[in-house]
Structure 1
Amino acid sequence: MDAMVEQDVCSGTTIRLGFRFSARASHGACLVGNGRDGFRLEAWSFRERHADMWLLPTTSIEPLHTHLVPIEDGRVVLIRYGRGIREVAVASPAGERPLETVDSPALRALPSRDPATLVWLVAAHREDHSVIHQVSADDMRVQPVLDVPGQLSGGWWLNEAGDLLAANQVLSGKRRIVILDLRHGTVTPLPEQAGGVLLTSPRRGEILVAARNSDGIGLGRVSPSDTRVRFFRALDRLTGTVLPLTLDPEGRRLALRVAQGAVSRLLIYDVATDTVTEVPCPPGVIRDAGWSETGLRVLFSSPATPAAVVRITEPFERRQAEGSATFCGHDARLEQFDGPAGPVEAVVYGEDWRRSRHVLVALHGGPEAAWELTFEPVFQRLADAGITIVAPNQRGSTGYGAAHRDAIKGCWGGPDLADIRHLLATLLRERRHPGCRIPMLFGVSYGAFLALLAAAADPTGWSRCVAVAPFVSGAALYTDGPASVRSLLDRLGGRAEIDDDLGPRDLLRLAPRITAPVLLVHGERDEVIPVAHSRLLARRLGAAGRRAAALFRYQEIPHAGHDPFVGPQGSALVEDVVAFLLTPPRLVHPRAAVAGSVR
């Protein structure tokens, strides 16, 4: 990768969240924090060979409830999410100015290419009704300009003037592309076979689409005047999950991310020649990209370095790097473990897990998610403390094909739990080094649910368990979870009961089986999994004779959301987790756990 990191992002524990590029990719914005004092708003301006950055004053920043849209003049529009209410404001060096409060369950902002328009707002008011609002750059007036039937997703500009928009419309259960003329107030649908919009080229007036072809789904291009899909044949030969990131200003080259397992690659596709060039990158993950007149920039992260904006220079080949991200911490590696149904890949931080005194199995949320070879602040601190982290992508994880991903449909805590139990057997069998302690568990959200299931399934196999924002059961979560979670449960069969020796995956029923000390953590304002689930679990674990602080602790984090590690109390929480995990264990590697506990 011939790349220039736009800033040393590794001073201390500087972390950037939610980075976004402006409509022409000449500016950017993100939230920046150090893990101790909360997050602040940071604006970026990209020049030929470097970037300028500055902090913008705001009234408040909540990372999980703030949406950013950078403007071409350096200002940033913020949307703050409340219960059904969306507050819109604009931040500049002079301060923050409120613009509008919108009563809408879903409000999005689209970057503007037109200097006379600060930003465009897309508000969903009912299932069959969306309104596009224009925010004037001069007087900040917010006015509706177009009423569109159905729900709109996405929104990409089809001309340089920035008044012709391509979006995906869902109406009466059907999905199609629509062309929205914001100047004349018209809506023009394209044929359904044109697929769905992914990106656009304003200069060429073309739409990049995902549409059905003879092999399934392919990437191609259409235009409002020619709706025949011209497929990019070279992309059909790629393996992995392909995600288009951005087109160059001329619309002739396409930057793509190809994810395979826990890592991703950066490819450049030439539309005219139907050829693909890979940009050499170190192992890590590419998040987003913007392609301006001054070049291509990508958001890149590796295990040892937080997300950095990297400038890719041409030709797209490996040369002397103009700059590099400072090494910030512990690196990680990928290892494969045998599973009951095939290999399971894991991201491993720290010493060799066979010899390390402390080993922690970390389980991701989702469940449609995966650990990636990227920067994880919590893992960095655990590795600092001498804990080796094994973060498996068990069945149910994404990035390893449909069969692996779909294995837990209708059986949450079935095949994935079997993989974790098999991993435990491997760890106990191979960790024969003197002083090795029994493995520990850590999980967040669905991973916390799975971690507690694992602790119940093999009580003597685990020495400690940290569960952050767990739910009691799929059925209970369906009763009091938000609509988005209920939809996920329906789609993945999360309420189905499993009939095996362990029985239904209800943690209230299984809690008495858990003998390992448990640290239970939940954010008071968790908007995904209600805090009531952990309160019920805390009472159940306490009733099971685990009242001593050495055996059980419940921490409810005031004002925190679904991820309590993000926010002003996150740093202290990480230290609490480290202290809990390093408390002297009850046992040192009992052979009985190998022989009798794990199946």
Structure 2
Amino acid sequence: MTACAIEPAADDADGAARPECTITADGAYAARLALDGDSWFPERWTLDGPEPYAVPLPGNQPEEPGTEVQPMGDGRVLIRRLADGRHTFSLLYPTGPGTGELPLGAVECPDEGSRLRLLPPAPGGERAYGLAVGRRSSAVWLVAGGAFGPEHLAEIPGRCSGGVWLDHAGRMLALDREVGGRTKTVVVDLERGGEVSPLLQIAADSDDRLLLADPNSGLLLIRSDAPSPGQDRLGWGVLGSTLPVRFPECLRVPDCTVTPFAIQPGQVLTPESCAVALRVDGPLGSWLGVWRPARRRMHHLPAPEGWLAGAGLWTGDGVLHLPYATAEAPCGLARVPAPSGEAGDTGRAGDAGAEGPVRDGTAAGSTSDTASGEPSEPDPPNPVALRPVPLQEAPLGRLVTK
């Protein structure tokens, strides 16, 4: 048997930088690997109190640098280790001066070149999922929250990366699937045996990836080379809208990689007014970008000292919370308000100064062709099962009831 490879701690399968800590979907807890001298150990942060605080969760021996940790909704921390050719999973929790550990089981990846990583925290915080990528197919595993240890949920033809939740129930999972040398985003319905539906295909010969989604507003952040073949661009659209994906010029920063990591929640009917936080990585380091789809400008802000780069979350009223760790403050949370002129900005995309639709990689100047998507309705008390449909002519596919 061949052991699965551990992905680099700082990069995802498609080369995108991964955050240095992981935050639950509700923002209550975070987890990371912390360093004590030359030894790595898990650490849980509590973020929903008056001040953040950290609880170390060291095991009987130091962890490997590639070990993954993820906070659960009840405050426990899921850990994935590679041992004896298997990926083992356990839940860690504090027990007075020590660390309790509840083994959950293991997943084997027999194919040569296979690898397994944790998917982003699922809504609700009760379950956690892993993605095992093989030579010809990818598997979604329920690794925490099941009845009998890790459970195989879905087998998807092609090599998958990414991972974005599209709903509040933790049912609809978007993955970027590579088939035939091209990458397109598909949706996996975890309650229908892993049924796969197309979600994002801007052009037949483009690579299209979904980076971020807000279930409330339907705002999507996308990376694609459709407008500039051979060169990836950041774009945005609205789930369920018939309008095309847009690729604003302001999201292009020369010689830098720009990665969105948080969307302001609660903007149910105005997706274009959502604040988006972006990580900008350049030759001189990393800093913050703040942008709204309704505006032409991205604000560039210095990151707080010790920022756990790529990690953060928005409050509903537009304050960005960024976890950081320094020698003086080993567990800190910086609160960054919306930049001057942005606070309370709920202007529609059709207002003066809005970014018009983009089909060819250049910004359209007309304000009559607006960038606002069709309003999304709030989630009903008992959501109807939804199925994405294929995209044509670069609109974002509507969700229609089955």
> For 1:207 and 1:26, how far apart are their aligned partners in 2?
23
1:109 aligns with 2:118: yes
SS in 1 for 2:320: strand
Q: CA distance change for structure 1 residues 53 and 139 in 2, over 3 Å: closer, same or farther? A: farther
* Match of residue 24 from structure 2: 22
Higher relative CO (Cα under 8 Å, sequence separation at least 6) belongs to 2
The one-letter code matched in structure 2 to 1:311 is A
Q: Is the 8 A contact 1:84 1:103 kept in 2?
A: yes
Q: Is the 8 A contact 1:297 1:309 kept in 2?
A: no
The one of 259, 266, 276 equivalent to 1:243 is 259
Q: Is the 8 A contact 2:185 2:200 kept in 1?
A: yes
Query: For residues 431-476 of structure 1, what are the alpha-carbon distances to aligned partners after superposition, in whole Å with 9 as ceiling and x for unaligned?
Result: xxxxxxxxxxxxxxxxxxxxxxxxxxxxxxxxxxxxxxxxxxxxxx
> For 1:96 and 1:283, how far apart are their aligned partners in 2?
33
Q: Is the 8 A contact 2:200 2:209 kept in 1?
A: no
Q: Is the 8 A contact 1:79 1:87 kept in 2?
A: yes
The one-letter code matched in structure 1 to 2:104 is L
Q: CA distance change for structure 1 residues 233 and 86 in 2, over 3 Å: closer, same or farther? A: same
SS in 1 for 2:104: strand
Q: Is the 8 A contact 1:263 1:284 kept in 2?
A: no
> For 1:282 and 1:93, how far apart are their aligned partners in 2?
29
Written as runs of structure 1 = structure 2, the 5 A alignment for 1:77-226 is 77-82=78-83, 84-94=85-95, 95-104=100-109, 105-115=114-124, 117-124=126-133, 126-135=134-143, 137=145, 139=147, 141-184=149-192, 185-193=194-202, 195-215=208-228, 216-223=231-238, 225-226=240-241
Written as runs of structure 1 = structure 2, the 5 A alignment for 1:435-584 is none
SS in 2 for 1:246: strand
* Match of residue 405 from structure 1: none
> For 1:305 and 1:122, how far apart are their aligned partners in 2?
37
Query: For residues 342-393 of structure 1, what are the alpha-carbon distances to aligned partners after superposition, in whole Å with 9 as ceiling and x for unaligned?
Result: xxxxxxxxxxxxxxxxxxxxxxxxxxxxxxxxxxxxxxxxxxxxxxxxxxxx
Q: CA distance change for structure 1 residues 137 and 80 in 2, over 3 Å: closer, same or farther? A: same
SS in 2 for 1:50: coil
Q: Is the 8 A contact 2:166 2:213 kept in 1?
A: yes
Bigger share in helix:
1
Cα distance, 1:300 vs structure 2: 5.1
Aligned Cα root-mean-square deviation (Å): 3.1
Cα distance, 1:159 vs structure 2: 0.9
Q: Is the 8 A contact 2:40 2:65 kept in 1?
A: no
The one of 310, 313, 329 equivalent to 1:288 is 310
Cα distance, 1:22 vs structure 2: 2.2
Cα distance, 1:44 vs structure 2: 0.7
Cα distance, 1:248 vs structure 2: 2.0
Written as runs of structure 1 = structure 2, the 5 A alignment for 1:383-398 is none
The one-letter code matched in structure 1 to 2:26 is R
Q: CA distance change for structure 1 residues 24 and 290 in 2, over 3 Å: closer, same or farther? A: farther
Q: Is the 8 A contact 1:151 1:171 kept in 2?
A: yes
The one-letter code matched in structure 2 to 1:297 is H
1:316 aligns with 2:324: no
> For 2:259 and 2:151, how far apart are their aligned partners in 1?
34
The one-letter code matched in structure 2 to 1:42 is E
Q: Is the 8 A contact 2:306 2:324 kept in 1?
A: yes
The one-letter code matched in structure 2 to 1:121 is G
Q: Is the 8 A contact 2:304 2:324 kept in 1?
A: no
SS in 2 for 1:231: coil
Q: CA distance change for structure 1 residues 224 and 282 in 2, over 3 Å: closer, same or farther? A: closer
SS in 1 for 2:44: strand
Q: Is the 8 A contact 1:244 1:255 kept in 2?
A: yes
> For 1:35 and 1:165, how far apart are their aligned partners in 2?
38
> For 1:115 and 1:191, how far apart are their aligned partners in 2?
26
> For 1:91 and 1:284, how far apart are their aligned partners in 2?
25
Give ranges in structure 2 of 5+ residues lacking alignment: 1-18, 341-402
Q: Is the 8 A contact 1:134 1:143 kept in 2?
A: yes
Q: Is the 8 A contact 2:213 2:221 kept in 1?
A: yes
Written as runs of structure 1 = structure 2, the 5 A alignment for 1:328-477 is none
* Match of residue 46 from structure 1: 47
Query: For residues 292-341 of structure 1, what are the alpha-carbon distances to aligned partners after superposition, in whole Å with 9 as ceiling and x for unaligned?
Result: 54842335578x88986442232436xxxxxxxxxxxxxxxxxxxxxxxx
Q: Is the 8 A contact 1:240 1:258 kept in 2?
A: no
Q: CA distance change for structure 1 residues 138 and 179 in 2, over 3 Å: closer, same or farther? A: closer
Give ranges in structure 1 of 5+ residues lacking alignment: 1-16, 318-599
> For 1:279 and 1:312, how far apart are their aligned partners in 2?
13
Q: CA distance change for structure 1 residues 223 and 148 in 2, over 3 Å: closer, same or farther? A: farther
Query: For residues 126-162 of structure 1, what are the alpha-carbon distances to aligned partners after superposition, in whole Å with 9 as ceiling and x for unaligned?
Result: 3112221224537463222222111111101111112
SS in 1 for 2:250: helix
The one of 316, 321, 330 equivalent to 1:297 is 321
Q: Is the 8 A contact 1:232 1:274 kept in 2?
A: no
Q: CA distance change for structure 1 residues 226 and 282 in 2, over 3 Å: closer, same or farther? A: closer
Q: CA distance change for structure 1 residues 69 and 285 in 2, over 3 Å: closer, same or farther? A: closer
> For 2:226 and 2:181, how far apart are their aligned partners in 1?
22
Q: TM-score normalized by structure 2?
A: 0.65
Count of residues paired in the alignment: 298
The one-letter code matched in structure 2 to 1:200 is A
Cα distance, 1:59 vs structure 2: 4.1
Q: TM-score normalized by structure 1?
A: 0.45
Q: CA distance change for structure 1 residues 90 and 292 in 2, over 3 Å: closer, same or farther? A: farther
The one-letter code matched in structure 1 to 2:165 is W
Query: Which of 1 and 2 has greater Rg?
Result: 1
Cα distance, 1:115 vs structure 2: 3.6
Query: For residues 77-130 of structure 1, what are the alpha-carbon distances to aligned partners after superposition, in whole Å with 9 as ceiling and x for unaligned?
Result: 111124642111111225111112111131122244344742112223x31122
> For 2:240 and 2:310, how far apart are their aligned partners in 1?
30
The one-letter code matched in structure 2 to 1:296 is L
Q: CA distance change for structure 1 residues 279 and 82 in 2, over 3 Å: closer, same or farther? A: same
